[in-house]
Amino acid sequence: MNVIYHKNAELEAITSAQFYESQAAGLGSKFLDDLDRTVNDIVNYPEAWSIMGDDIRRHLFTHFPFGVIYRMTNSKILVLAVMNLHQKPNSWHDRM
């Protein structure tokens, strides 16, 4: 299944990784590893995660306070947000 990131979701991932890297060497890489694991889970089990409404789902990271907000289409997963759970939880709504 193909994974496509909304441009803002991609920016959120990059900005968050840079922030964590600025806090401690290697922490940004750990953030990106956690993102990769989360997206791989979604690819392998796309319907397993919490429904938020209108075919939008959320899968939480394992080690960071983030979630991946996504929507499935025929053969694609559209990542709408890489969301910090402590900031503006509805900021991704205009990306649908």
| Exposure letters 55-75 (e unless 16+ CB within 10 A, then b) | ebbbbebeebebbbbbbeeee
Query: pTM above the 0.75 mark?
Result: yes
* Residue-level pLDDT at 65: 95
> How does pLDDT run along the chain (96 residues), one tens digit per residue?
899 999 999 999 999 999 999 999 999 999 999 999 999 999 999 999 989 888 899 999 999 999 999 999 888 999 999 999 886 655 545 555
CATH pick for 2-90 out of 3.40.720.10, 3.10.50.40, 1.10.510.10, 3.30.2310.20: 3.30.2310.20
